[in-house]
Structure 1
Amino acid sequence: MELFDQFLNTVRETVNPATQPVAVSIVRDGAVAEGKKIRVRGQRLAICQQIAYSRMYGWSTWTDQASAHCVLGAACAGLIAPPARVLDGSVNTGIYQKDQAAAAAMQQAMPRLPAGTAGVLTTPLARPVEGIAPDLVVIYLNAAQAMRFVQAFLYREGGTFVMKSSGDAGVCSRAVAQVYLSGEPAVEIPCLGDRRFAMTQDHELCVGIPLGWLERTMEGLAATHKAGIRYPVPFQIPAGCDLPPAYITAGDDC
């Protein structure tokens, strides 16, 4: 909890996102959630909707195989094995891709956890459920705030931050599944479903951070902030700006 508090304080001081950072737990043994106080349980929800409840309302949520509503999100999180209609591209054909071959190519490249997840738990990072450790953190940001996180990710070792996107299944495939599998942070463009059903706004991006990266992300945010890289980005305000002549103070103004 001390690490989470330090991370949250650093994020608030340096970036101050509009909604709360969300802890995501990929739970393999459903018994650990029995008897736990979880605000939203038993409703049919997509992963993006779970995260919306947690980041916007501060509620904890739980979905399992019986209550996962979106087939793409459920497959990405390992709640179900991806059905044939997903893997062969039928679900996307004529919508996101022009033909089934293209749709299958996209679906087969999408990060997914192996089936066997008992449940997906989301909570505000500030209030994790006791006894269930988060695996990763998801934060929704505008483009300038996401830039600050990329700078933080590169602070220790430099290099290049590589962002991948499918234009579909955004938060569940990249910010959750990819982060969980790779142990590396990700920045993703939220998908249509996230915007339509989970209230994500036009300007928002999502950032996924594995738990093992919290300390170095916090370090990078704090150090670059101290060095003068700030959000909001301060404008350079010119002296003697170009006003219409009648607006400029004259020597006989008093």
Structure 2
Amino acid sequence: MFFWKEIVNDLQNLMKIRTIPIGMKLFKSKAEMENVPKIRRPKQIHTADQIVAQAARLGWTVGITNDDLAVSQCGAVLGLHPQDEEWQAGKEYAGVWYETAEDAEKHQQAMDVVPYGEHEAMAVSPLASCRLDPPDICLIYGTPGQMMIFINGLQWRNYKKFNWGIVGESSCADSWGRALKTKEPSLSIPCFAERRYGGVQDDELLMAITPEDLVKAIDGMKQLAKNGLRYPIPSYGIQQDAQAGLAFSYGKK
């Protein structure tokens, strides 16, 4: 069981986040998605970035099928559109984002996507609403400084090194695509489309993470805070003698 309002309150206290933390969930059927309390259905055609933004920026609970999406790229990342030969070729991106058709095809093949055919719909909703309980993954937007503290919290117990790639444009594949596919914490630099259509701010990164790992990160950040390692990170001064500051964290106790 997850206590979502408490989790969101912890995120706000520990990270001072300014964007609503949201959940994302895939559904086997459209009917199952439409059964989510207070679900909104698009009346226009959107990108997946816009649907995510309606939850993260407006606080809405929104559900979609592939028919609601403007381009195949959005549906393919979520496993709602076939990753067939036409999609894998990515011809529409050649000469736009990539010099050659070969480059475009390499990009498509590099993307982390949910396998097609297992789900028919997707919904996003603020975590605090408890309407997707539990979501498959949680989406947290934050600045680089906020994300560093979050990652430090995630590494507090059972340390592991994280290796994240950058696919380039369509970097939703690096965040929710990868997290839905692998269940691993997935940090991305949101792409042009996420910023143009999804309202992502210039200083924001995106973490996609399972509820279990989100709780782990929060627990770790609480432990770090006890050691004086918390957000916001105060500037010590670039010309000051660093010994006193370092002694606070690493001196004998």
Using the size of structure 1 for normalisation, the TM-score is 0.86
Does the CA contact (< 8 Å) of 2:34 and 2:63 recur in 1?
A: no
Does the CA contact (< 8 Å) of 1:89 and 1:102 recur in 2?
A: no
* CA shift digits 1:86-115 (9 cap, x unpaired): 311312212222211122111111011112
- Determine the C-alpha separation between the residues in 1 that align with 2:74 and 2:226: 39
The equivalences for 1:1-254 within 5 A come to: 2-36=2-36, 37-116=38-117, 117-129=119-131, 133-171=134-172, 173-236=173-236
Of the structure 1 ranges 189-198 and 89-98, higher mean CA displacement relative to structure 2 is found in: 89-98
The CA RMSD measured in Å over matched residues stands at: 2.1
Does the CA contact (< 8 Å) of 2:23 and 2:137 recur in 1?
A: yes
Pair member with larger Rg: 1
**Structure 1 counterpart of 2:243:** none
* CA shift digits 1:140-186 (9 cap, x unpaired): 11111111121122111223221211111122x12212101111101
The amino acid of 2:23's aligned partner reads: A
Higher percent of residues as helix: 2
The amino acid of 2:179's aligned partner reads: V
Decide whether aligned partners of structure 1 residues 2 and 35 sit closer, same or farther in structure 2, where only a CA change above 3 A counts.
closer
Of the structure 1 ranges 110-119 and 186-195, higher mean CA displacement relative to structure 2 is found in: 110-119
Does the CA contact (< 8 Å) of 1:187 and 1:206 recur in 2?
A: yes
* CA shift digits 1:221-246 (9 cap, x unpaired): 211122211111112369x9xxxxxx
Of the structure 1 ranges 40-49 and 146-155, higher mean CA displacement relative to structure 2 is found in: 40-49
Percent of aligned pairs sharing the same letter: 25
**What are the ranges of 5 or more consecutive residues in structure 1 without an aligned counterpart?**
241-254
**What are the ranges of 5 or more consecutive residues in structure 2 without an aligned counterpart?**
241-253
* CA shift digits 1:35-93 (9 cap, x unpaired): 44213434322221111111111011111021122321110001110353431131221
Decide whether aligned partners of structure 1 residues 25 and 35 sit closer, same or farther in structure 2, where only a CA change above 3 A counts.
closer
Aligned pairs, number: 238
Secondary structure, aligned partner of 1:221: helix
Deviation at 1:17, TM superposition (A): 0.9
Using the size of structure 2 for normalisation, the TM-score is 0.86
